[in-house]
């Protein structure tokens, strides 16, 4: 079951929220900054121990002061011209997050619109990759049984509703 919602991902009481992080996993702006701010310093301490994450992969941590139970940190690609493997890397960021969710018994999972902020991925192309990857995975796996696409801005909210 998939739901599209327009809200701040840090407010969600789900088993896991996904963070659109960078390779350092040490925080940044956008949704990453919001998640670290709301979770508190213990999240940064746990992330330091992980020692980074390559683009297209994902890592799981606790969620500390957040209402969610876990944070899955994934690193989407920086969009340049679409000819540098961006699509495969974005798909891989979604897929790696979904696989970690399954491995950790996560039923409800919330995704932000990975790579569509600072990393400048074109919204429509990114939304198509997100939706097709999640739908396909959920058809083949029992967990996660509920996925939220959290759209923070009107443009993405409109686009996701149009595409789904
Ligand atoms: N809840 C849900 N979505 C949000 C929130 C929020 N609180 N805040 C922003 N968004 P971005 P990226 C949306 O830039 O493009 C960071 O500095 C935002 O509107 O957060 O993957 C990292 O450290 C946009 O639609 O992530 C990396 O360096 C979406 O989240 C870099 O940015 C993603 O925008 C990653 O860039």
Our answer on whether the CB atom of 118 is closer than 6 Å to any ligand 1 atom is yes
Domains of the chain: 2-163 (3.40.220.10)
Instruction: Report the separation in Å between the CA atom of 138 and the middle of ligand 1, taken as the mean of its atom positions.
Output: 24
Do 114 and 18 meet the contact criterion of CB atoms below 8 Å apart? yes
Ligand 1 atom at minimum distance from 8 CA: 1
Residue 128: pLDDT band with limits 50, 70, 90: very high
pTM above 0.85, yes or no: yes
- 21 ligand 1 Cβ < 6 A: yes
Q: Determine whether the shortest distance from the Cβ of 137 to ligand 1 is under 6 A.
A: no
Sheet holding 108-111, edge to edge: 2-5, 146-150, 108-111, 16-21, 70-75, 58-62
pLDDT, position 158: 98
The minimum-distance atom of ligand 1 relative to the CA of 116 is: 15
Q: What is the DSSP letter of 93?
A: H
Predicted confidence (pLDDT) per residue in 68-115, tens digit: 999 999 999 999 999 999 999 999 999 999 999 999 999 999 999 999
pLDDT at 67: 98
Q: Is 32 a catalytic site residue?
A: yes
**Probe ligand 1: pick from 30, 55, 116, 157, max atoms within 8 Å of CB?**
30
Q: What is the pLDDT of residues 17-73, one digit of tens each?
A: 999 999 999 999 999 999 999 999 999 999 999 999 999 999 999 999 999 999 999
């Amino acid at each position: 079951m998939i739901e599209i919602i327009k809200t701040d991902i840090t407010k969600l009481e789900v088993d896991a929220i996904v963070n659109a992080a960078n390779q350092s996993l040490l925080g940044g702006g956008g949704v990453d900054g919001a998640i670290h701010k709301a979770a508190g310093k213990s999240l940064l301490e746990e992330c330091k121990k992980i020692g980074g994450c390559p683009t297209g992969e994902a890592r799981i941590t606790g969620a500390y002061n957040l209402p969610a139970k876990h944070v899955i940190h994934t690193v989407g690609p920086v969009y340049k011209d679409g000819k540098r493997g961006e699509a495969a890397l974005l798909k891989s960021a979604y897929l790696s997050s979904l696989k970690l969710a399954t491995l950790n018994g996560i039923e409800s999972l919330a995704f932000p619109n990975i790579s569509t902020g600072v990393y400048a991925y074109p919204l429509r192309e990114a939304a198509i990759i997100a939706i097709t990857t999640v739908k396909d995975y959920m058809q083949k796996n029992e967990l996660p049984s509920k996925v939220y696409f959290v759209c923070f801005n009107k443009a993405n909210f409109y686009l996701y509703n149009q595409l789904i």
